[in-house]
A and B are shown apart, each in its own frame.
Chain A
Amino acid sequence: MNLLDITLILPLAAFALVLFLSGDAAKKAAIGFALIIFLVSLGLLGPTLAAPAAMNFESNVAWIDSPAIRYHTGIDGVSIWLILLTTLLTPISMLISWNYIKERVPQFYAYLLLLEFGLIGVFMSLDLFLFYVFWEVCLVPMFLLIGIYGHDRRIYAAVKFFLYTMAGSVLMLVAIVYIYGKAGGTFDYIQILAKLHNGQLHFEPAEQMWLFLAFFIAFAIKVPLFPLHTWLPDAHVEAPTAGSVMLAALMLKMGTYGILRFCLPMFPQAAYNARIPIITLAIIGIIYGALVALVQPNMKKLVAYSSVSHLGFVVLGLFTFDQAGVDGAVYQMIAHGVSTGALFMLVGFLYERNHSLEIKDYGGVATCAPYLSTVFLITTLASVGMPLLNNFVGEFLVLQGAARVNIWWAVFAGLGVILSACYMLWLYQRAFFGPVSHEVEHHVTDLTSREWVTLIPMIALMVWMGIYTQTFLPSISASNTHMLGQVQSKEIANAR
């Protein structure tokens, strides 16, 4: 058992423990555990960054003998960042819920820990079956978080979220089982890749396309790729703030991570052949998401649609099959987790104060809550891709990668950047400037120290990721180079 396994098991142990505590004790214990888990996970960073292209902290033991299912886990230069983002955002999500969650408190924190367990598992699995298990495990706590602690239409949103994901993932299960038979009885991702390489395993083009689609649809629902995104606005708007943060920052990344980890390396030819329609959908998503965000009267919905737009960039980057594009996509995955996570937190803070998510109920917040407004502005600028802040790096690299392959992709995707400035700054103008109403003046107070504690790491990351990319990019690049090396078969090279 290595440090990675401990990082995985701790949330599960904490989940079981917190479930048996009550009220404040549960809350404190949960936050304590989440912080410990974060500190433990930091220990993963050093060794992984030393060898980002390889799998670090690998464990490989049999779970079930027949069919051969292995507990095979490990992290490389991409998954490490997603795991750290998970372990960082879990305690933060707990802290922002400190006052907001008043009923059924222990369960709330327990579900967050269970979700953390599932997410860490997804990002470290190197066995297709194991991956599927964690993938589904994530579903249950999020379903309960939305359904119990959400807003008015929470039940509808929770059920829709569950069914959409479930419907997508059953097809993936068919594909996983099919691969098992074809690969000579193994779910092991590393072995499957090795067999694909030395020719022991070969998928016919049509076969490969079907398998690719079965995986891709499951992931595309999660991303969500236009036109499979309709569950997202509902889930986001109805979820409690912590749920929205986890959903936007991490659960959407399960989809893009799945594409990067499984779709591209296992079915490179199919992925390459399908890139045009997929990129078209991604660009439609970028523009459509931005246009819909522009007309949203509801802040949370606006941020939710902006996620559709931002995630379109990630998918675009992944399917450029270009080093810069894929690097940018991964960078954007993490950057979006930070900035959109922070946006949802800030919107949540406003809701806690004024009990409204409608933009028209605000105005002049800058006068009565200057610090909150400043932090919101920084986050807004990060989100619209201002240079020196995190999203800029990802979007720039994606556009660069896209432009190298086809300039028109970059042109249309670039529209999304412009539109994002429109909807975010317009939101900022309407909510934070202008005359201050009596309601707002009365209710909207400035940030509390607890809120500062949750926001400082987010702001720091936005700036750090924007200024000093050297911390993050080399490891991401190294992993991606390794992956692209596997992907670029002769056929793809010839097609270029």
Chain B
Amino acid sequence: MPANFMPSAAEYFRFAPEIILTIVGTLVMILEAMTGDRDKSSLGYVSLLGLAAAMAAAVAANNDPGLAFQSMIIVDGFATFFRVLVLGVGMLTILVSTNYLSEAKANSGDFYALILFSVVGQSLMACANELIMIFIGIEISSIASYILAGYLRDDRRNNESALKYFLMGSFATAFLLYGVAWIYGLTGSTNLGEIRTVLSHGTAPTAMVGISAALMLVGLAFKVSAAPFQVWAPDVYQGSSAPISAFMSAGPKAAAFAVMVRVFYTSFDSISNQWEPVFWIMSLATMVIGNFAALQQRNIKRMLAYSSIAHAGYVMVAVTSHSAVGTAAVMFYLASYCLMNIGAFAVVTWMARDGEKFVEVDDFSGLAQKQPFVTAILTVLILSLVGVPLTGGFFGKFLVFKAAIDSHLMWLAILGLLNSAVAAYYYLRVLVVMYFREPGASTVNLPPVAGTLRVAMLVTTLGTIALGIFPGLILGFATQSSTLGK
């Protein structure tokens, strides 16, 4: 234990994104109280600025990577990648939300502050190097998302969704915490690196280490909605407001995957022969359950929820491959997944309108004739979700299954890719109704595509295409950072 407990300036600098976000979040809450009944969109812009500043700080922090606060925090390429990712998700969510909130007459600073706090938690998860820190990050992120899920408090579905998310979520985090307690008992540390060192000696009882890893996996699998802990996701995504579903399906998931990779690749590296088979089965089950259940869905939010479960399964395939290539694939996949999923939910947000009346797949009938712009956007995003070349989704899938094949997980790769052919069926249904059906009641009086929402749609779509054509944009960085600062 070093004698000097005072952190150095460099350490604060490494923690700057979280500090900035917390300050801006608090500021937004104060401003909310001060602005009274006036339009709160400006608070959204303040939050956007805060997120942008935090992103700049995160990028700057990467110039001086290292540990901070008694090695509770680690700043490396991996952490920076996920920090920037969750910050970007936060920005896109705000762009998608402003208009929706104004229409629902629920535009208030609290909403933006909650988004900021949730992102603080996720950012912390991305750079945590210590189990308690991870737990704190997850809790900060989750508590804010529980409230966000029920943000429209007069809406019954919102309430149901929030309660379900809260009960199940806290239960799952309890498992995680229990696992942390076990591992502390076994190794005498909560630091990921120290746990790794102790476990690699092989003196700790293997069965008990396995159990504690399993307990932590339960908590993390819940957060990424991996089978068999995925049951909550469709109900929660369907019940929450569309912009919040976009947020929940992207940010928390990406951060939880970051934690999963870091914990299992660092601390539990030496017992990988124990967890790899478990991951193998879980990833396959997640893909199969997600895709086959999505086939049955009529509600587009529910369909996207199941599809996001399936996508978690693909990412799990990359995690299972347990290699640097796999880590890079996880990173790339999650980046493209966040873009295409938020984009798709942005279109759903635009389509749903007051009280989310139009959220059936069939409500998109004939959209190609009524709104070519949005149709083109959704077409690109859906093709990316299917995994058609020249989109980020395809390249992500390619990297994931390449990682699996490189690690000799041939059957997992084959079954996973066949799964993605199944998935094509339900995604195609969206294209089918948009292009091949005649317009119905739902496409009468389509609203204009509002400014910020349009920006979100364009950013996600162009980003998806850019990742498909020039994957090197982030793949190089992902590959460099894939070794993790152990």
Q: Which residues of A contact B (CB under 8 A)?
A: 64-67, 104, 107, 132-133, 136-137, 139-140, 143-144, 147-148, 154-155, 158-159, 162-163, 166-167, 170-171, 173-174, 177-178, 180-181
Contacts and interface: CB of A to CB of B under 8 A. Distances in A.
A139 B421 CA distance: 13
Give the secondary structure class of B's interface.
helix
Residue among A67, A104, A139, A158 with most chain B CB within 10 A: A67
Contact of A174 (B394, B399, B417, B471): B417
A140 B414 contact: no
Q: Quick one: which of A66, A174, A178, A180 has the most chain B CB within 10 A?
A: A174
9 contacts: A66-B479, A132-B389, A140-B383, A143-B428, A147-B432, A155-B432, A162-B424, A166-B424, A177-B405
Contact of B398 (A148, A162, A177, A178): A177
B390 interface: yes
Contacts of B471: 64
A66 B399 CA distance: 10
B69 interface: no
Contact of A66 (B405, B421, B432, B475): B475
Interface string B364-384: 000011000000000000010
Chain B's interface size range is 20 to 34
Specify which of B402, B410, B418 lies most central, judged by the most chain A CB atoms within 10 Å of its CB. B402
Contacts of A181: 402, 405-406
Interface in B392-420: 394, 398-399, 401-402, 405-406, 410, 413-414, 417-418, 420
Contacts of B401: 173-174, 177
Most chain B CB within a 10 A radius of its CB, from A133, A147, A166, A181: A166
Interface in B197-238: none
A147 B410 CA distance: 35
A202 to B, nearest CB: 18
A181 B383 CA distance: 27
A447 B293 CA distance: 53
A171 B436 contact: no
A157 to B, nearest CB: 11
Contact of B417 (A66, A104, A140, A173): A173
A173 B404 CA distance: 13
A67 B425 contact: no
Contacts of B45: none
B414 A174 contact: yes
B388 interface: yes
A140 B383 CA distance: 9
Contacts of A66: 472, 475-476, 479
Contacts, number: 84
Contacts of B175: none
Contacts of B431: 143-144, 147
Given A66-B476, A133-B389, 20 more contacts: A64-B470, A64-B471, A64-B472, A64-B475, A65-B476, A66-B475, A133-B390, A136-B394, A137-B388, A137-B389, A148-B436, A158-B432, A159-B432, A166-B386, A166-B424, A170-B417, A171-B418, A173-B417, A174-B414, A181-B402
Contacts of A136: 388-389, 394
Contacts of B470: 64
B184 interface: no
B435 interface: yes
A155 B438 CA distance: 12
Contacts of A104: 368-369
A158 B428 CA distance: 10
A422 to B, nearest CB: 37
Contacts of B405: 174, 177-178, 181
A67 B402 contact: yes
Given A162-B424, A163-B425, A174-B414, A147 B390 contact: no
Contacts of A166: 386, 421, 424
B417 A144 contact: no
Nearest to A139: B388
Contacts of B399: 67
Given A163-B425, A174-B405, A147 B435 contact: yes
A148 B435 contact: yes
B322 to A, nearest CB: 16
Contacts of B383: 140
Interface string B438-476: 000000000000000000000000000000001110011
A167 B428 CA distance: 14
A167 B436 contact: no
Contacts of A133: 389-390
A142 to B, nearest CB: 13
Contacts of B390: 133, 137
B429 to A, nearest CB: 8
B402 A154 contact: no
B444 to A, nearest CB: 19
A66 B435 CA distance: 37
Contacts of A162: 424, 428
Contacts of B421: 163, 166-167, 170
A104 B417 CA distance: 34
